[in-house]
Amino acid sequence: MGVGSNQLSNIDVSNNVNLERFYCYQNPIPSINVTNNIKLTTLSSWENQLTNLDVSQNAKLNYLYCHANQLTSLDVSNNSVLIELWANDNQLTSLNVKNGNNTAITHLDAINNSSLSCIDVDNPVAADGGLNNYANWSKDATANYALDCSASLGVEDKIISFIEVYPNPADNTISLKPQNEISKIEVFNLYGSKVKEFNSNFSNLTISNLSSGVYILRIHSVKGIFIKKLIKK
């Protein structure tokens, strides 16, 4: 079914239960419901005005082109036969590609999502190394791969305003305050490995030897242990 490059502001395919290929790109459509289209193998909805997209019921989906929209989150963990995913040029803060079959995804594009700091995948080590099909995956430098982004990044303390880290993102050095409240800082990568530790001079901490990416700061202070996310440029 093709309705691309029109001026459609709404389309209902809920009764098209046998729909296998749906092309609705380049329209001002704000939402699309494909939950009833369980036979869908291709969805081309790029350059619309989508703010959300639920493909959890589309287990046969092979090709998903949803770039150039306004999506803030996308979960394809139920799409185990996915071959291509184009999610670039959105407003993503969450992207879950941990579908148990990342080796089948021959192309993934998630660039130009400046607020996306973590992507859930099957094998973050292979993804970071660009091994196998991961070699054809693209993301912003500020985004990292992890097995569980919620565990790695969803740990901002409820009273984190007590500790300030600046600049963030950072190039070579960072500062923390109030310095007289801090006793130790541990730096972890998204695999949970400690890569650095600081015990003094919290006003000028050198991070130049860290690779670009996202890190977790475990900050020991007189008021307890706090967690902050650090983005290394």
User: Do the Cβ atoms of 70 and 57 come closer than 8 Å?
Assistant: no
Domain 155-232 in CATH 2.60.40.3080? The answer is yes
- Asked whether the beta carbons of 208 and 173 are under 8 A apart, the reply is yes
Residue range 182-192: mean pLDDT, rounded: 84
pTM of the model: 0.69
Q: Mean of the pLDDT values across residues 137-144?
A: 89
Token pair 């306004």: residue: 70
> Percent of the chain scored above 90 by pLDDT?
67
Answer whether residue 156 shows pLDDT above 80.
no
Domain with CATH 3.80.10.10 in the chain: 21-151
* pLDDT of amino acid 154: 40
How many angstroms separate the CA atoms of 132 and 22, rounded? Answer: 29
Q: Residue 229 — φ and ψ, nearest 5°? A: -95, 135
In this prediction, residue 162 carries a pLDDT of 65
- A 10 A CB-CB count for 214 gives 21
Range 49-65 average pLDDT: 98
Domain with CATH 2.60.40.3080 in the chain: 155-232
CATH 3.80.10.10 fits 21-151, yes or no: yes
Helix-then-strand count for the chain, H and E = 2, 17
The pLDDT value recorded for residue 227 is 74
Instruction: Report the mean per-residue pLDDT for the chain.
Output: 90
45 to 69, 76, 231: CA distances (angstroms): 9, 15, 31
Predicted confidence (pLDDT) at residue 106 exceeds the cutoff of 50:
yes
